[in-house]
Each structure stands twice: as structure tokens, then as C-alpha cells.
Homo-oligomer: A and B are copies of this chain.
Amino acid sequence: MDELIGNLLVAQSGGPTAVINASIAGVIQEARQHACMSGLYGGLNGILGILKEELIDLKREKASTIKALKHTPGAALGTCRYKIDFKKKPERAAHDMDRLFQVFQAHNIRFFFYAGGNDSQDTAHKIHLEAVKRDYAMRIIGVPKTIDNDLPHTDHCPGFGSTAKYNACTTMEVAVDIGSMATDDGACGVIEVMGRSAGWIAASTILARRQPSDPPHIILLPEIPFDQQAFLDKVKSVVDTQKYCVVVVGEGLKNPDGTEFSADATRLDAFGHPILAGAGERVAELVQGKLNTKTRSIKLGYAQRCAAHYASATDVAEALACGAAAVRAAAEGRSGLMVKIVRTQSNPYLWTTGLQPLEDIANVEHMIPRNWISEDGFSPNEKFVEYARPLIEGEVKVPAEGGLPKFAVFAKRRLRCKLPPRA
């Protein structure tokens, strides 16, 4: 292994999760154990802030702040959706890459960690290839993060377990509420959850179902083309027997022709734009309109990806471990890899971390296997339950002040800029 000494840079990218900051805590805590990593820097707002040379000194942050990262939602370093796009904007991309390596060189960055989903791992991969090409000694490790749980090769993604836990709990709570209101007239509740192409999040609400007749009674997955008549028949049958029906809808629900169910071009808003009403609201309209059953909808939106107050303790521990494993891998001389979670057994649940080449990850989407979904398509089956159950285990205790959580806020002591401003 080459001896490599220099500074560490960590940044976050894409939509935040309830535990993305736990991974940053893992990076920082582990890095302190490695003398080769002299400076510990954070890049603000992902790659975008690094391009602007917006770096902060993480060694000057309080120990209590680092500790509190474990229960702080949002991206404590800030995040972005910026993509270095060699295909669509090759000139801009080449320019960005030059600038990135100027920043790396100016601050002697030799260890780079990027926490994110598909796009972010793609960015990390491109930076790795570029470092090799430029013969710039730097070790790049990706840290997985996405509530969507759609990264390949890792058993699951940090962030998913907490969203699954919060959504399943919300489904249980809403279900007893609606169930207790149900009279002979019947009642229906529709809960829209995130997941544009993969249905992992919607599917995970199955964990609320302890007995076969328990809610959620129907789960509409983006993977299964939406058969409206079969759905309405099922709602009617559930309401007839149980007086109420709870439906969970993945926001990316598709029509049989592959178009998105929520995009209704026939409805325009006050400005003449087509209304993206949300799949949940449209499903609720369908039930109310066709079955005349009183129906209420809920759209959890961002609330489901930042509910640190009900995070999964398993998820927090895994997110932390992924950050730490990334640092250990880099210290051992590895590069161009993403940390993955490896399940060694389901019951009792045992896991460890592993490494996977970034080129295997970038831009590959991992969907729910069809044989993890019931034949009628309205529910994941016991294979999915066995997979998802351990990921929501364990409660966290979030420090409170005045009845509300206390979050970590970085002081963000900026490093002095060494380069001219970005062109």
C-alpha cells in the first residue's frame, strides 16, 4: 500500500434522509483514528459547494455537535442535485472537473467521501476515473444514502429503514383512527408515500400488518401497472367486510400504458400548467367518485424522509458504520468503491459492511423482485416482509428541549479560499 498523507473531504448529495448525518458522524469519528488524514474538511452543498471552494473545518466543530448529528435530519453540510454531465454538457463537465481538481490540489485533498444515491455515486465514480487519469493520488469512496432503497449490490440503503419505520407507524396510527370512525357507510383512507420508480417505500408499509386482515389493505406499487377496476373491486370487498379500507400509494404509480397515474394533462392550474395532483389524491378521487365511499388522503412528502424523531435505531447504526467503513477502506489504500451493507442472516438479523466498485453502482436502479409481490399485485409478500422487518427495529432517543428535538447545527468555520472565484 502506498503511503498517502493529506486532508479528508466529505460532502453530501441528493435528497436528505433521517440518517445521512449519522454517516458524516461515522466519517469524522473514524477519521480521527487515522493519522494519515490530517485535515478534516466538509464541502458545503455537495459538489456545487466544492466547485465554489466552500469548505469548512470539521475539526473546529464541537464534540457535542458531532454527536448530535446522529439524530439530526436534513443534510448538515448542505446538499445539491448538481450533476457533472459529460453526455449532455461535455464542455461544462470538463471545465467542472478541472476546477474540482484545482480545489483538491489547493487544499491537498487526498481522501474524498461522497454520501448519496445513484447520481452521486456516478459523480464519485467519474472523480475516481479522473484522478487515475490525472495521476492525482486520491482515494475516493462512496457512502450509500437514499430512502428510495434503489441502489444495487447493497442489501439495502441507509435512510430506507427510518422512512419505512415512520411510514409503517403512521399507517398503523391512521388506520386505527379511520377504523374507529367507520360506520356502516364505510370509509377509505389513502396514504401517498415517496418512490417514483421503485416501490420499496410503499411496500414497506406492509410491516404495519400484523394479522392478515390488518391494514394497509392495499399497496399500490409503481412496479405493477395500475388496474383501476381490479383495485376498485378490491376496495369494495374490503369495505364490505371490514367497513373501512386503508390504501398506500407509491407516488410513481403507473398506468398500464406506462404513463404516470398522477400526471393528468386534462387538468390545468391557474397558470395553465398541467396539475400533478399527486397519486394519492387522484386515487382518493377515484374511490370517492366510483364507489361513493367517504375517502380522505394524506401526502407525507418530505416529512417521511426527515422524521428523525422516529428513526430506526438499526438504520442509524448502519449509516454510522457505512461512514466509518468508508474511511477505513480509504486508509487501507482502497479507492473507486462504494460501501455496501451485507446481510449475513435475517433472523436474528446480522449484517456487516462490504465494498463494491463504483462502476457497478452508478445509474443502476434496483427494483422489488416480482416474486416478492403477491400474485394480484396489491401487496408485497412474506419474502419482502422477511427482508424489511429487521430494518425498522429499535427506537432512538432524541434529546428534547421544550418538548421538541434539538438538532446539530455546524458552526461552519470556512477554510480560507486559495483560488480565484469559479468562472
Interface residues of chain A, those whose CB is within 8 Å of chain B, are 15-16, 45, 48, 72-81, 165, 168-170, 172-174, 176-181, 183, 189, 207-208, 267, 269-271, 273, 275, 277-278, 281, 285-286, 289-290, 296-303, 305-310, 312, 314, 389, 392-395, 400, 402-405, 407
What's the least CB distance linking A248 to chain B, in Å? 13
The reply to whether B402 and A207 contact each other, CB–CB distance below 8 Å, is yes
Q: How many copies of this chain does the complex contain? A: 2
The reply to whether A405 and B74 contact each other, CB–CB distance below 8 Å, is no
What's the least CB distance linking A354 to chain B, in Å? 24
What's the least CB distance linking A114 to chain B, in Å? 16
What's the least CB distance linking A73 to chain B, in Å? 5
* Closest B residue, CB atoms, query A20: B180
The reply to whether B301 and A303 contact each other, CB–CB distance below 8 Å, is no
Partner of A180, one of B74, B208, B273, B281: B74
Give the complex CA separation of A296 and B165 in angstroms: 23
| Sample (23) of A-B pairs whose CB atoms are under 8 Å apart | A15-B181, A16-B181, A45-B183, A74-B173, A74-B178, A77-B180, A81-B181, A168-B404, A169-B404, A174-B301, A174-B302, A207-B402, A207-B404, A267-B275, A270-B285, A271-B289, A271-B290, A277-B277, A296-B301, A298-B303, A300-B300, A312-B403, A393-B403
The reply to whether A79 and B404 contact each other, CB–CB distance below 8 Å, is no
Provide the residues of chain B in CB contact with A176, threshold 8 Å: 72-74, 306, 407
* Closest B residue, CB atoms, query A72: B176
Provide the residues of chain B in CB contact with A48, threshold 8 Å: 183
Give the complex CA separation of A78 and B314 in angstroms: 35
The reply to whether A405 and B303 contact each other, CB–CB distance below 8 Å, is no
The reply to whether A79 and B303 contact each other, CB–CB distance below 8 Å, is no
Provide the residues of chain B in CB contact with A271, threshold 8 Å: 285, 289-290
Give the complex CA separation of A392 and B169 in angstroms: 20
The reply to whether B404 and A165 contact each other, CB–CB distance below 8 Å, is yes
Provide the residues of chain B in CB contact with A173, threshold 8 Å: 73-74, 303, 306-309, 405
Known contacts A73-B173, A404-B207; A296 and B289 CB within 8 A of each other: no
Partner of A169, one of B45, B278, B309, B314: B309
